[in-house]
Amino acid sequence: MIQKTYFKTKDYCKVKFTLKPENAESVAIAGLNSDWKNLITMSKKKDGTFSAEVSLPKESQHEFKYLVNESEWLNEPEADKQKKNEFGTTNSVIIL
């Protein structure tokens, strides 16, 4: 799930990412701000849900994927759109 919070006086949007994959020990977000090397670690809650809040520039687009247990790539089902990537799969896209 993606939750966007816009601020009238700020040039960024606060975005909350939430995901509940089965049997996950760790989840990270890759690709935000075109950075596929520095992952954003998501915090695990008691109910097994992972979440992270990130500030991203307004009027921008970001491709991303979730990395579960350091081995499985997942897309965000509620992303604004999906875009084909160079590996023959798709990336999630968030539009702000």
Q: 33 near 27, Cβ under 8 Å?
A: no
Mean pLDDT of 33-59: 95
pLDDT 10s digits, 57-67: 999 999 999 99
Q: 84 near 58, Cβ under 8 Å?
A: no
What is the pLDDT at residue 33? 87
Instruction: Give the confidence band of 77 by pLDDT, cuts at 50, 70, 90.
Output: very high
> Could you give the dihedral angle defined by the CA atoms of residues 5, 95, 72 and 43, in that order, rounded to the nearest 10 degrees?
-10
Tokens at residue 77, please? 């089902």
pLDDT 10s digits, 21-34: 999 999 999 999 88
Mean pLDDT of 29-46: 95
Which residue is listed with tokens 């949007």? 13
Mean pLDDT of 46-71: 96
Closest by CA to 21, choosing from 70, 56, 64, is: 70
Share of the chain above pLDDT 70, in %: 100
Rg (CA), the chain: 13
